[in-house]
Amino acid sequence: MKTFVCIKYVPDTSEAEVKLNPDGLTVDDSRFSFDINDADNYAVEESVIIKEAQGGEVTVLSIGPKKSEVMIRMAMAKGCDKAVRIEDDRIAAHDPLMVAKVLAGGLKDQEFDLVLTGCMANDDWHMSTGVALAEELGVNHASMVNKVEILDGKVKVNRELEGGLMEVVEVDLPAVLTIQTGINEPRYAPIRGIRQAQKKELNVVSLDDMGIDAAAVNADASQVVLEKLYIPEVESSAEFIEGEPDEKAEKLASILQKGGLV
Amino acid sequence: MQTFTEKYDLLGCIQCGRCTGGCPVTVRADLNVRQFVNDAYDEDKLEELAKLAEIWDCTACHTCAVRCPKGLKPLEVLIGLRTMIVESGKVEPTVRDALQSVLLEGNPWEKSRATRSDWMEGLDVRIADPDEPVENLFFVCCTIAYDPRVRAVAQNMVKLLNKAGVDYAFLPEDESCCGSEVLTLGEEGLFEMQVEDNTEYLNEFKAERIVTLSPHCFTTYKTHYPDLKTPVVHYTQLLVDLLNDGKLSWKGELPKKIVYHDPCYLGKQGGIYDEPRELLKSIPGAELVEFERRRERSLCCEGGGGKMWVESESKKERLSDTRIKDAKELGAEIVAVACPFCVLTLEDSMKGLGYEEEMRVAEIMELLGELMET
Ligand SMILES: Cc1cc2nc3c(=O)[nH]c(=O)nc-3n(C[C@H](O)[C@H](O)[C@H](O)COP(=O)(O)OP(=O)(O)OC[C@H]3O[C@@H](n4cnc5c(N)ncnc54)[C@H](O)[C@@H]3O)c2cc1C
Ligand code: SF4
Ligand code: SF4
């Protein structure tokens, strides 16, 4: 089994206030912590589980800055064998189609059976990069995968649909699977493992190194123009109803009536 | 490489059972630490032993180490077994996330490093600079820095120091976790790295002493950082000196019955029993009462040993519940502690038992903060 797993380095926006930079197009990320995207962490674990059961090799693929290498080394400590990190300022990173083209470029001339991605990135929530990547590669795909079973020349997967419905599909290999969180329990990357992973191969490449024409994946090539980012104003406020229980009930009833809600 | 037997001096054990006899968690979990010391001698059995759930019940209270007549530290055998699990990567998700957060952000609470000093907002805090010698260099602790419930420990300390005219400085936001819980969770490699990094970082500062706010940082720096140049004290030691020099004075009274709970890391491990009591006795109007199980025999609150991230399977009464019930029996209105973990565990029990109306769990610095003349 030859597997590629695509992982993204994302900020955790849950702990610090989100503020915009003066350009109105980017977020001030100086107070955030960064880590592997949640779903991608599960994709890494799944790739290692598959390797442990089937043998083979797992390669990490990531577009990101130098500081994201700690995340890549952690994936290697868990069992991934090698990695390619793509760094190039010209990539229109806000457009999943452009990102997919670059990732596909990273897979060009490579043999692979499976490509795993997360189903969604915590920062931009596009839910489309993995599927676009399958299209770019001209291979099958299944999205929102929460169970994987490797068969002969194909893979049987469960897809989690709306309302708790489960769809089971068989997909011929090679294929792209976008992995849903909860599919497994990602393991811990111990420091000694991370240290050992420093010896594994990690190639850093630019668009030029990959033979990708920047004009095909930059902001001009993208059909998506990022106009602005803003934090929506809070339009309603919460009202605390005070008093004894019967007073509270009366006040609540009158608010609901006045608002035409009952 | 040292064998397990050599590393933990297992042949020194005479199987007297004093360790298990004193272990506080035996009343609610199946842990028998003597048995582990006995069985770990068989190297072939180690993997099997590491899989036993009980190894995660130990709270690292160190009672067993204090009681062992042969000077062994039986708990370290359990931690060694935890290391085997951690290095396989197959730990509880809560443990995984805490350890990873220490590596990436310098704290086990999954908070961003950039927000570590947010507790200082609105306060006139002196920040340490490697080029400026200072008498008292303060190390805050991850839990006190980030947890809003115990932040007041640091905030009140700043106010008190400013008022008393003490020469002090707090470390800036690049202060990192001391590794106390990393060590007891068994992440040996990460702890070694922390000792190296923190030693180098702290040795850059010129201070007469490092003052820790948490007994976990205090004991960890004292016992596991051999190359640290600066002596380390717990804040209660510094405050008792200030008190004796007449630099601290309280306004008003706190006419309450206070019982002091000895934190394991401050008492059994740090040997500090009297200073917190002296501070409490200095409070006008307060009546200090004592638990039957106190000082070396103090009951563990189960907050240490990485237990903040590992839930016990046992459904039996928590030791912190037992402790709060004992306090209630004594008629205590305030359970005073000198450890952020004890505040969190004991307060949880106090609320769970429904004593909120008549009882309060407080860190000593919270009480002193309320009595400070401003
Ligand atoms: C871990 C361990 C396991 C053992 N297992 C076994 C076993 O399975 N089978 C076996 O046959 N042997 C066993 N032994 C050995 C056996 O226990 C000892 O040989 C024996 O107990 C020694 O007796 P003692 O009187 O010298 O001391 P102890 O048995 O230690 O006696 C001390 C006690 O005797 C009383 N005592 C002693 N002197 C006085 C005094 N002057 N006045 C009043 N009371 C006094 C006190 O109550 C005191 O606590 C074991 C020993 C150890 C350490
Ligand atoms: S107290 Fe010490 S000597 Fe006694 S059984 Fe425990 S480890 Fe062995
Ligand atoms: S450290 Fe405390 S909880 Fe752990 S084995 Fe020793 S006595 Fe028991």
Compute the residue count for chain B: 374
Q: Kindly list the domain boundaries of chain B, sorted by start residue.
A: 4-88, 95-243, 249-373
DSSP A25: S
Instruction: Say how far apart CA B176 and CA B150 lie, in whole Å.
Output: 18
Span B300-319, mean pLDDT?
A: 91
Tokens 């240290």 found at: A195
CATH code reported for the domain at B95-243: 3.40.50.1860
Are the C-beta atoms of residues B41 and B72 closer than 8 Å to each other? no
CATH code reported for the domain at B249-373: 3.40.50
What does the CA dihedral B78, B84, B89, B92 come to, rounded to 10 degrees?
Answer: -20
Instruction: Say how far apart CA A233 and CA A180 lie, in whole Å.
Output: 32
Are the C-beta atoms of residues B169 and B209 closer than 8 Å to each other? no
| Tokens encoding A34 | 């960064």
Strand B168-170 to B134-139 pairing: parallel
pLDDT tens-digit map of A188-202: 999 999 999 999 999
Instruction: Closest CB to A15: pick one of B112, B187, B193.
Output: B112
Task: Say whether A33 and B103 touch across the interface (CB within 8 A).
Answer: no
Q: Which of B8, B36, B64, B318 to mutate to test the pocket of ligand 3 (most atoms within 8 A of CB)?
A: B64
Residue nearest to atom 3 of ligand 2 (CA): B13
Upper half-sphere CA count for residue B8 (Cβ side, 13 Å): 23
Which residue type occupies A34?
A: F
Of all residues in chain B, the one with the smallest CA distance to A196 is B189
SS3 for B261?
coil
Instruction: Closest CB to A33: pick one of B88, B104, B188.
Output: B104
Class of domain B4-88: mainly alpha
Task: Say whether A33 and B187 touch across the interface (CB within 8 A).
Answer: no
Task: Say whether A33 and B111 touch across the interface (CB within 8 A).
Answer: yes
Q: Where are the alpha helices (DSSP H) in A19-128?
A: 38-54, 69-78, 96-107
In which element (H, E) is residue A86 found? strand A82-86
ipTM: 0.85
Tell me how far the alpha carbon of residue B118 is from its chain's centroid: 22
pLDDT tens-digit map of A188-246: 999 999 999 999 999 999 999 999 999 999 999 999 998 999 988 877 777 888 888 99
Q: What angle do CA B98, B103, B106 make, to 5 degrees?
A: 85
Full-model pTM: 0.88
What single string gives the DSSP state of each residue in B324-345? HHHHHHTT-SEEEES-HHHHHH
Residue nearest to atom 5 of ligand 2 (CA): B15
| Tokens encoding B359 | 């009882």
pLDDT at A73 over 70: yes
pLDDT tens-digit map of A14-36: 777 889 999 999 999 888 999 99
Task: Say whether A191 and B103 touch across the interface (CB within 8 A).
Answer: yes
What does the CA dihedral B262, B266, B267, B269 come to, rounded to 10 degrees?
Answer: 140
Cβ-based contacts of A184 with chain B (< 8 Å): none
Residues in CB range of B178: below 8 A, 6 or more apart: B139, B141, B194, B198, B212, B216, B217, B220, B221
Instruction: Give the dihedral sign, CA B85/B86/B90/B95.
Output: positive
Tell me how far the alpha carbon of residue A129 is from its chain's centroid: 8
Residues in CB range of B98: below 8 A, 6 or more apart: B108, B109, B110, B181, B185, B306, B308, B309
Q: For residue B41, which ligand has an atom nearest its CA?
A: 2
Are the C-beta atoms of residues B314 and B27 closer than 8 Å to each other? no
Cβ-based contacts of A70 with chain B (< 8 Å): 103-104
Span B220-225, mean pLDDT?
A: 97
Is B249-373 the same fold as B4-88? no
Residue nearest to atom 8 of ligand 2 (CA): B13
What single string gives the DSSP state of each residue in B63-110? HHHHH-TT---HHHHHHHHHHHHHHHT---HHHHHHHHHHHHHSSTT-
Cβ-based contacts of A185 with chain B (< 8 Å): 93
How close A176 gets to chain B, by Cα (Å)? 27
Span B136-141, mean pLDDT?
A: 98
Instruction: Closest CB to B91: pick one of A12, A34, A188.
Output: A188
Task: Say whether B115 and A190 touch across the interface (CB within 8 A).
Answer: no
How close A78 gets to chain B, by Cα (Å)? 8
Instruction: Say how far apart CA A124 and CA B108 lie, in whole Å.
Output: 27
pLDDT, residue B2, reads 87
| Tokens encoding A206 | 């630019």
Residue A45 lies in a domain: yes
| Tokens encoding B227 | 């190359």
Tokens 């582990």 found at: B36
Question: Residues lining ligand 1, CB < 6 A?
Answer: B 14-16
Instruction: Say how far apart CA B258 and CA B362 lie, in whole Å.
Output: 10
Residue nearest to atom 4 of ligand 3 (CA): B58
pLDDT, residue B160, reads 96
Cβ-based contacts of A35 with chain B (< 8 Å): 100, 104
How close B91 gets to chain A, by Cα (Å)? 7
Strand A202-205 to A19-20 pairing: unpaired
DSSP A10: E
Phi, psi angle pair for A180, to nearest 5°: -85, 150
Q: The CATH number of the domain where A172 resides is what?
A: 3.40.50.620
Nearest to B138 by CA among B127, B152, B130: B127
Q: For residue B35, which ligand has an atom nearest its CA?
A: 2
pLDDT tens-digit map of A90-136: 999 999 999 999 999 999 889 999 999 999 999 889 999 999 999 99
Question: Residues lining ligand 2, CB < 6 A?
Answer: B 13-19, 34, 37, 67-70, 72, 74
Tell me how far the alpha carbon of residue A64 is from its chain's centroid: 12
Confidence at A168, pLDDT banded by 50, 70, 90: very high
Of all residues in chain B, the one with the smallest CA distance to A184 is B93
How many angstroms separate the alpha carbon of residue B88 from the centre of ligand 2? 29
Tokens 């072939």 found at: B44
Task: Say whether A16 and B115 touch across the interface (CB within 8 A).
Answer: yes
Residue A59 lies in a domain: yes
Instruction: Give the dihedral sign, CA B328/B333/B339/B343.
Output: positive
Which residue type occupies A50?
A: I
What does the CA dihedral B351, B357, B359, B362 come to, rounded to 10 degrees?
Answer: 70
Residues in CB range of A209: below 8 A, 6 or more apart: none
pLDDT at A12 over 90: no
Instruction: Closest CB to A191: pick one of B91, B95, B189.
Output: B189
Q: What angle do CA A110, A115, A117 make, to 5 degrees?
A: 135
Range(s) of the domain holding residue A61? 2-216
Are the C-beta atoms of residues A4 and A116 closer than 8 Å to each other? yes
Residue A232 lies in a domain: no
Instruction: Closest CB to B89: pick one of A70, A187, A195.
Output: A187
DSSP B43: G
Confidence at A157, pLDDT banded by 50, 70, 90: very high
Task: Say whether A188 and B89 touch across the interface (CB within 8 A).
Answer: yes
Task: Say whether B111 and A191 touch across the interface (CB within 8 A).
Answer: no
Confidence at B374, pLDDT banded by 50, 70, 90: low
Q: For residue B10, which ligand has an atom nearest its CA?
A: 2
How many domains is chain A partitioned into structurally? 1
Residue A262 lies in a domain: no
Q: At what angle do helices B74-88 and B188-203 cross, to 10 degrees?
A: 100
CA-B22 nearest atom, ligand 3: 7
Q: What is the mean pLDDT of chain A?
A: 94
Q: At what angle do helices B274-281 and B235-244 cross, to 10 degrees?
A: 50
SS3 for A59?
strand
pLDDT, residue A90, reads 97
Is B64 near ligand 3, meaning CB less than 6 Å away? Answer: yes
Indicate left, alpha or beta for B100 from its phi (over 0: left) and psi (-120 to 50: alpha): alpha
pLDDT tens-digit map of B318-348: 999 999 999 999 999 999 999 999 999 999 9
| Tokens encoding A207 | 């668009």
How many angstroms separate the alpha carbon of residue B5 from the centre of ligand 1? 27
